[in-house]
Amino acid sequence: MKRIIFLVIIVSIFVGVSAQGIINKEMTTLELFLREEVLKQNTEGPSRFAPGIEVGKASYYADKFQGLKTANGERYDSAAMTCAHLNYPFGSLLKVTNNSTHKSVVVKVNDRGPFVPTRIVDVAKKPARELGMLRAGVVEVTVEPYDASNETPSPVPSPPPAAVMGRGFFSIAEKKYEPDGFGVQTGSYLDSKTLFYHVDNLKQKGVSPLMIHSGLNASEQSTFRLIVGPFKTKKEAAQKLSELQTVKIQGIVVEMKNLK
């Protein structure tokens, strides 16, 4: 009886998501369940996702997905500059940079995924080729929103390998803030090494005051958000963002209480 119930659960999960995007037949039951939950979040209530700079792993679509429907109803085209992301609205433009080669592409979100922990984006085969990742399959990348009105978006510095960073000391002024007011989020990172690299980068540019929000991202992964602030009003935060953009630092205004 238990086996029958388990099979019914698997079938119901597969049926629930098969009409809403590309399904990999090799996906585990857990991955299919996570896909269903993410797709539900896109239709139920306001999103808690705060766009910003992400650092993580990227993979690309296999040839067998050619012509299959993506989550927004389009057909997957290996020659198109498209990608899958868990949270960005369909049609969003993202700049993806290979942190090893520093090659970048701009891709449009038309599918949901990836559902493998530590992976933050799946790209079509053409952008994967331009990123130089066909042989490796999975590479570390930086993902950020792309403003089409900016013809020459500023490159995001990639964190150097551990051997290049070496050992060192960091000055820390610890103060816990209440979740109130606004700030400018300049990045979101899964590990402290990358976080400290970007903290140091902003410090060298004279950016202050800085805060670190420790919490969870939309995939329930522990994440560190690097935030300039706090500011009492959204207007003050927006003014600070404008100042940062004049020195080629991108970000997004966030309300503290909305970060989980």
Give the chain's domains with CATH numbers.
2-145 (2.40.40.10), 162-258 (3.30.70.1070)
Give the model's pLDDT for residue 33.
54
Helix or strand holding residue 225 (H, E) = strand 222-231
231 Cβ contact list (under 8 Å, min separation 6): 181, 182, 183, 237, 240
Q: What is the DSSP string of 77-88?
A: -TTS-EEE-SSS
Give the model's pLDDT for residue 258.
82
Give the model's pLDDT for residue 116.
78
Question: Which of these, 174, 161, 239, 170, lies nearest to 212 by C-alpha position?
Answer: 174
Give strand pairing partners of 60: 123
Q: How far is CA 80 from CA 64, 69, 191, in A?
A: 15, 14, 32
Strands 119-123 and 82-84 come out as antiparallel
120 in Cβ contact with 85 (< 8 Å): yes
Give strand pairing partners of 224: 189, 214
CA atoms within 13 A on the CB side of 23: 17
CB 255: neighbour CB atoms within 10 A? 14
Helix or strand holding residue 72 (H, E) = none
Query: Cα(55)–Cα(69) distance, rounded to whole angstroms?
Result: 27
Six-digit token string for 161? 């390998």
pLDDT tens, per residue, the chain with 260 residues: 434 333 333 333 333 333 345 655 555 555 555 555 555 555 444 455 667 888 889 999 989 989 998 988 899 999 999 999 988 888 999 999 999 999 999 999 999 888 777 789 999 999 999 999 999 999 999 999 987 655 444 444 444 444 334 455 556 566 677 778 898 988 887 777 777 778 888 888 888 888 888 887 766 777 888 899 889 999 999 999 899 888 888 888 888 888 77
Give the model's pLDDT for residue 13.
34
Give the model's pLDDT for residue 80.
94
Give strand pairing partners of 111: 84
